[in-house]
Amino acid sequence: MNFDEILRLIGGFGKFQKTLYIWICLPQIFLAFHMLVSVFTSAVPPHLCRSTRTSAGTPASVNFSSLTTPDGRPDLSCSVPLNHSGAVSLGDGRPAGSCQGGWEYSTQTFQSTIVTEWDLVCDSASLNNMGSSIYMFGLLVGAAVFGSLADKYGRRIIILVNLAIQAVFGVGAAFAPNFYVYTALRFMVGMSISGVIMNAFVLGTEWTGAKQRMLAGIITDYFFGFGYIMLAGVAYLIRDWRKLQLAISAPGFLFIFYIWVLPKSARWLMANDRKEEAWELIRKAAQMNGKPLTKDLEMSEMYKVEEKTELRKKHSFIDLVRTPKMRKQSLIVFYLWFVNVLVYYGLSLNISDFGMNIYLTQMIFGLVEMPARTITLFTLNRSRKISQLAFLAVGGTACLLTIFIPSDLSVIKTVLAMIGKFGITASLSIIYVYSAEVFPTVIRQNGIGIGSMCARTGGVLAPMMYLLRSISPQAPMVLCGLCPLLGSALTLLLPETANKPLPDTIADIEGTGLSEEDGGVKLVIFDASLRNTNVGSSRMD
């Protein structure tokens, strides 16, 4: 009897698991706050060079909304007219002198942002994008560091440590004296986000029965979506960036009570030869679920965990690219991870580009998360492959169409961007499950780990993508359109995995009799347990 069979006996989603998911889901709201708050704290309001003040009036009297470039976008002027003739002339949209006296910013939408406080415009504008990329790089580092530490020390302790890091450094960022300290503190918050997201999800799936894992995963996604929507309201009420940063970070200290309520993973304890502790937790879960067990089940599980560990040591990440079919499938899946996260955050972090009210657009994009994640519950069981390529095609096509919409039709542009966000969000939900089924059991964790790194790389590049606007204002959306369409085409080369046995060895992928060194060892003992565990543990938002 393996661990999943024990879960079936004690209840795969009983009172114990439902309580656990309450603790897992609550931090997801604050994770969404931290992931997306830069939409507001790093916003760039319309601005004018302070040396035009004598002719254009005080900041309160300047009509910033009337200052537009030829394509209808607000003018973020980086220079000052050389002729001070009584009006700010934007004749050709690019006056000639450089600004020496600093900047005046519109306060119509924001009281303050990091841009207005530290003048991150014009020559310093790239620092703003770089700050967002450094935060995303923190997610990448956190995924590597805390994933490894969780395997060594356990899921629970890493979650608790990262919740503390998130609260301390998040509050610290609200009091940052300069941009560089702020960026360093945000980097630490980014690391902690990865530590919480990965290990909370893994902890939940390791306690959840196989049949309920997909639904349980969607539940955590919903709470992230709730945070997405709530951030629009919080940011609308709090227009000062320091107060907003404090408002989303300080509640993190309330999670101190998790020390007493968050359980360890019995599956992890068994794998690390802590049998008595694991069995004590299993008995507790069984009692909470109203299905008490006898202790004679323990030894059979211990045997299987030990044997599974021995078999899995024979393979490494090199096996992902050693053989032809495995190499092709691995590279395609890695690209799909990269492009999904690139476009997801490319759209989410740059909603001001669509011309509508930034708070309304944020709320709409958050609302789109709900149906996008729900629809995958109905399409995944029919076809992983068709679902993946279809949603990528929808997302890419919608993003590409936005470049043909005039700037004065901001509603149509936002609707198309919303459809693009819908497609990419659904695609991102699918790739978690699909990639876990493409990789064979013997190298599944290696494949998921590298896929996570590719996803984080996409996150790092997403803010930098909008520097391409200096080449063409349409360049970022062209990229958001073409990359998913390429991914959709590449998905045609992947196998269908819905309602089919998961591959256990590389030989199953290649369809040939490989040697034991190339992955020909067949796992027959832990089939259900290992497959289901890896599918459920692949999420890393």
Q: Is residue 213 scored above 90 in pLDDT?
A: no
Q: What is the tens place of the pLDDT at every residue in 314-327? A: 566 687 888 888 89
Provide mean pLDDT across the span 222-237.
92
Task: Give the range with max mean pLDDT: 34-38, 84-88, 143-147, 511-515.
Answer: 34-38
> Which range among 49-53, 404-408, 465-469 shows the weakest confidence by mean pLDDT?
49-53
HEC profile of 315-376: CCHHHHCCCHHHHHHHHHHHHHHHHHHHHHHHHHCCHHHHCCCHHHHHHHHHHHHHHHHHHH
Tell which wins on pLDDT, 240 or 84: 240
Distance CA 295, CA 304 (A): 16
| Angle between helix 241-249 and helix 15-36 axes, rounded to 10 deg | 160
Tell which wins on pLDDT, 331 or 58: 331
Half-sphere exposure (Cβ direction) of 95: Cα atoms closer than 13 Å = 22
Provide mean pLDDT across the span 47-72.
54
> What pLDDT does residue 511 have?
76
Decide: helix, strand or coil at residue 524: coil
Q: Is residue 46 scored above 90 in pLDDT?
A: no
Distance CA 452, CA 432 (A): 10
Q: Give me the phi and psi of 23, to 5 degrees please.
A: -65, -35
Within 10 angstroms of residue 290's Cβ, the number of other Cβ atoms is 11
Return the structure tokens found at 30.
């604050």
Residue 519: pLDDT band (50, 70, 90) is very low
Q: Is residue 158 scored above 50 in pLDDT?
A: yes
| Sign for the pseudo-dihedral over CA of 69, 71, 74, 79 | negative
> What pLDDT does residue 233 have?
94
Q: Is residue 515 scored above 50 in pLDDT?
A: no
Percentage of the chain exceeding pLDDT 90: 34
> What pLDDT does residue 523 have?
37
> Which range among 39-48, 59-68, 179-188, 208-217 shows the weakest confidence by mean pLDDT?
59-68
Decide: helix, strand or coil at residue 396: helix
Q: Is residue 510 scored above 60 in pLDDT?
A: yes
Sequence-separated (6 or more) residues with CB below 8 Å from residue 127: 120, 179
Residue 65: pLDDT band (50, 70, 90) is low
Mean pLDDT of the chain: 80
Provide mean pLDDT across the span 324-332.
90
> What pLDDT does residue 57 have?
47
Q: Is residue 225 scored above 50 in pLDDT?
A: yes
Rg of the chain taking only CA atoms, in angstroms: 25
> What pLDDT does residue 471 have?
83
Contact 101, 49 (CB under 8 A): yes
Return the structure tokens found at 423.
């497609």
> What pLDDT does residue 516 have?
43
Half-sphere exposure (Cβ direction) of 55: Cα atoms closer than 13 Å = 14
HEC profile of 68-95: ECCCCCECECCEECCCCCCCCCCCCCCC
> What pLDDT does residue 480 have?
92
Q: What is the tens place of the pLDDT at every residue in 290-307? A: 888 765 555 454 445 444
Instruction: Indicate the pTM of the whole model.
Output: 0.78
Distance CA 533, CA 12 (A): 13
The CATH class for the domain spanning 1-49+103-303 reads mainly alpha
Query: What's the residue count for the chain?
Result: 541
Q: What is the DSSP letter of 502?
A: P
Q: Is residue 229 scored above 80 in pLDDT?
A: yes
> What pLDDT does residue 295 have?
55
> What pLDDT does residue 355 have?
63
Residue 63: pLDDT band (50, 70, 90) is low
Q: Is residue 386 scored above 60 in pLDDT?
A: yes
> What pLDDT does residue 315 have?
64
Q: Is residue 414 scored above 60 in pLDDT?
A: yes
Residue 165: pLDDT band (50, 70, 90) is very high
Domain at 320-504, CATH homologous superfamily: MFS general substrate transporter like domains (1.20.1250.20)
Sequence-separated (6 or more) residues with CB below 8 Å from residue 534: 436, 441, 444, 445, 448
> What pLDDT does residue 518 have?
46
> What pLDDT does residue 306 have?
47
Q: Is residue 340 scored above 90 in pLDDT?
A: yes
> What pLDDT does residue 502 have?
67
Contact 340, 424 (CB under 8 A): yes
Q: Is residue 472 scored above 80 in pLDDT?
A: yes
CA angle, residues 362, 414, 186, in degrees to nearest 5: 35
Nearest to 329 by CA among 426, 486, 423, 440: 440
Provide mean pLDDT across the span 157-163.
95
Q: What is the tens place of the pLDDT at every residue in 240-292? A: 999 999 999 999 999 999 999 999 988 888 877 888 888 889 889 988 988 88
CATH 1.20.1250.20 domain span(s) along the chain: 1-49+103-303, 320-504
Any long-range contacts for 528-533 (C-beta under 8 Å, 24+ apart)? 528/2, 528/4, 528/5, 528/210, 529/2, 529/3, 529/4, 529/5, 529/304, 529/308, 530/308, 530/441, 530/444, 531/441, 531/502, 532/4, 532/210, 532/213, 533/3, 533/4, 533/205, 533/206, 533/267
- Burial of residue 487, with CB atoms counted within 10 A of its CB: 0-12 exposed, 13-18 middle, 19 or more buried: buried
Provide mean pLDDT across the span 137-150.
85
Q: What is the tens place of the pLDDT at every residue in 421-439? A: 999 999 998 887 788 778 8
Tell which wins on pLDDT, 489 or 57: 489
Return the structure tokens found at 395.
């997302």
Q: Is residue 541 scored above 80 in pLDDT?
A: no
User: DSSP letters of 242-271?
Assistant: HHHHHHHHGGGGGGGGHHHHPPP-HHHHHH
Q: Is residue 309 scored above 50 in pLDDT?
A: no
| Angle between helix 444-464 and helix 125-153 axes, rounded to 10 deg | 160
> Which range among 31-35, 118-122, 178-182, 423-427 shows the weakest confidence by mean pLDDT?
118-122
The alpha helices in 154-273, defined as continuous H runs, are 155-174, 179-207, 213-237, 241-249, 258-261, 266-271
